[in-house]
Structures are given as C-alpha cells and as structure tokens.
Amino acid sequence: MTTSTDRFREQLATYRTTTEPEPVDLRPANAFEAVTRQMVESMADELHEIRNRLNSLLFMMAGAIVLDVVSRLTGQ
C-alpha cells in the first residue's frame, strides 16, 4: 500500500529529474547596462572601504577610552 508521503516523494523525485532550471544570463544587454553595472560595482567597493575605515576609527576610539579609564584607575 502506497501512502501519501510515498506518492509525494515519487512526484518530487520525478520533478527533480525532469525539470532543469535554465541558467540566468548575467551578461549586460547593452552599453548602458554595462556602464551602470560598472558604476554600481565601483560604488560598492568605495562603500566597503569607507566602512572599513569607520570600523578602524571606532575601534581606535574605544581603545583610547579604555586606555584613559585604565590610566585614571591606576592613578598615573
């Protein structure tokens, strides 16, 4: 006797073997799209660099605050 779970598994296995997803074409269709994509990628790189600099600045400030608190606690 075949249960509903078994039938579902059979249908799922059939679906997985019969349908191949078509690959998505990521190439730019025209010059405008290529230039726009390049601009967006360069802006993403610049934002990543800015984020890294801000993180470094925040860690430096936190370290300076900790150093100041420790120096005040030790009385120097």
Give the confidence band of 7 by pLDDT, cuts at 50, 70, 90.
confident
Amino acid 19: pLDDT: 59
* 69 in Cβ contact with 75 (< 8 Å): no
Question: pLDDT tens digit string along 12-62?
Answer: 887 766 556 778 888 888 999 999 999 999 999 999 999 999 999 999 999
Tokens matching residue 52: 């890294």
Rounded to whole angstroms, how far apart are CA atoms 53 and 67? 21
**pLDDT of res. 32:** 92
Q: Name the pLDDT band for 4 (thresholds 50, 70, 90).
A: confident
Lowest mean pLDDT among 3-7, 34-38, 53-57, 66-70: 3-7
